[in-house]
Amino acid sequence: MTIARQNRLNTAAAHGALILYTLIALFPVFVIVINSFKTRKAIFREPLALPDADSFSLIGYETVLKQGDFFLYFQNSMIVTVGSLFFILLFGAMAAFALAEYRFRGNLLMGLYLALGIMIPIRIGTVAILEMMVQTGLVNTLWALILVYTAQGLPLAVFILSEFMRQVSDDLKNAGRIDGLSEYRIFFRLVLPLVRPAMATVAVFNMIPIWNDLWFPLILAPAEEVKTLTLGSQVFIGQFVTDWNAVLSALSLAILPVMVLYVIFSRQLIRGITSGAVK
């Protein structure tokens, strides 16, 4: 009896702690979003109240859509994120297959070389990256960002994917070889479909840091027509810092796409982390 009582107390305490922390985690997002729908007066008079008929206003969103080119920024972010993910997955899977499948001289060394980049942040090399992008004329193009994020994402992708590719059955591949499939077909037709879950994990891991990065867009592609959403909202907010309606609306608009991505991919993300893919 006492144990049951204690258990219930424990459970209540656990829920209490989790609810408290959930509130702390969500409160800032909540405050920003509700206030973006209010008039300027209401924002300051009652910051914690929900918008009602009296205080509801979309003036901030109107300013944002008129002044900032948020659709262009969104499009740029999309191109950069999708492009980088495509190359990370394609090149990463190919290299992982070579390392996992074939025995050749330098295999281990190559694996170690590619793994170096897991621990060393690519930002350290920024000065030389900028110089190289200026020399090749890639500065202020989306290609500069795609290349940098691909290089940044490859080490972990190769590491995770080769772990998974080692688990693909040899019998299957050898059956393919006996049927006369080339090594390329074995990779694309037999192995790739089997490691799709691992590819999804790698994609989700890379997606959010690429989408949210501020450093490389700021340095490699600051021009108006190639601004990503993260840099675009940073610059916009900096210019409209006294227009609270516009700032709050811009923040809400920047939150929206990541939240949509999160809702779609959160199960994949959490499964990826908890399955021990990053141990």
Partner 1 sequence: MAVEPQKPKFRWHIVVFLAPAVLVYTAVMIYPLFNTLRLSLFTEVDQTRVFVGLQNFRTLFGETVWSNQFWNALGNNFWFFVVHMLVQNPIGIALAAILSHPRLRFAAFYRSAIFIPTILSFVIVGFAWKLILSPIWGIAPGMLDAVGLKSLYAPWLGKEAYALTTLSLVSVWQFVGIPMMLIYAALLSIPDEILEAAEVEGITGLSAFWKIKLPLILPSIGIISILTFVANFNAFDLIYAAQGALAGPDFSTDILGTFMYRTFFGFQLQLGDPHMGSTIASAMFAIILIGVCLYLFGIQSRMRRYQF
170 Rama sector, left if φ>0, alpha if ψ -120 to 50, beta otherwise: alpha
Please return the burial class of 74, using the count of CB atoms within 10 Å of its CB with bins 0-12, 13-18 and 19+: middle
How many chain residues touch partner 1 (CB under 8 A)? 97
Site string for partner 1, 173-212 (x = CB under 8 A): -x--x----xxx--x--------------------x--xx
Nearer of residues 226 and 233 to partner 1, judged by Cβ: 233
Residue type at 155 in one-letter notation: P
How far is residue 186's CA from residue 76's CA, in Å, rounded to a whole number? 35
- Contact by Cβ (8 Å): 97, 165: yes
How far is residue 49's CA from residue 253's CA, in Å, rounded to a whole number? 20
Interaction of residue 64 with partner 1, rule CB under 8 A: no
Nearer of residues 53 and 157 to partner 1, judged by Cβ: 157
Nearer of residues 92 and 226 to partner 1, judged by Cβ: 92
Task: Identify the residue among 69, 72, 101, 188 touching partner 1 (CB under 8 A).
Answer: 101
Please give the residues from 28 up to 47 whose contact with partner 1 meets the rule CB under 8 A: 28-29, 31-32, 43-44, 47
Nearer of residues 74 and 87 to partner 1, judged by Cβ: 87
How far is residue 92's CA from residue 206's CA, in Å, rounded to a whole number? 12
Please give the residues from 4 up to 23 whose contact with partner 1 meets the rule CB under 8 A: 10-11, 14-15, 17-19, 21-22
How long a stretch of residues is the chain?
A: 279
Site string for partner 1, 135-174 (x = CB under 8 A): ------------xx-xxx-xx--x-----------x---x
Task: Identify the residue among 1, 53, 193, 279 touching partner 1 (CB under 8 A).
Answer: 279
Task: Identify the residue among 85, 114, 192, 203 touching partner 1 (CB under 8 A).
Answer: 114
| Alpha helix (H) residue ranges in the chain | 2-35, 40-45, 59-67, 70-101, 107-119, 126-135, 142-165, 170-178, 183-185, 192-194, 196-212, 215-220, 229-239, 244-274
Triad 235, 236, 241: Cα angle to 5°: 105
Region near partner 1 per CB under 8 A, out of 27-35, 51-59, 66-74, 195-203: 27-35
Please give the residues from 231 up to 270 whose contact with partner 1 meets the rule CB under 8 A: 233-234, 237, 244, 247-248, 251, 254-255, 258-259, 261-262, 266, 269-270
How far is residue 204's CA from residue 83's CA, in Å, rounded to a whole number? 14
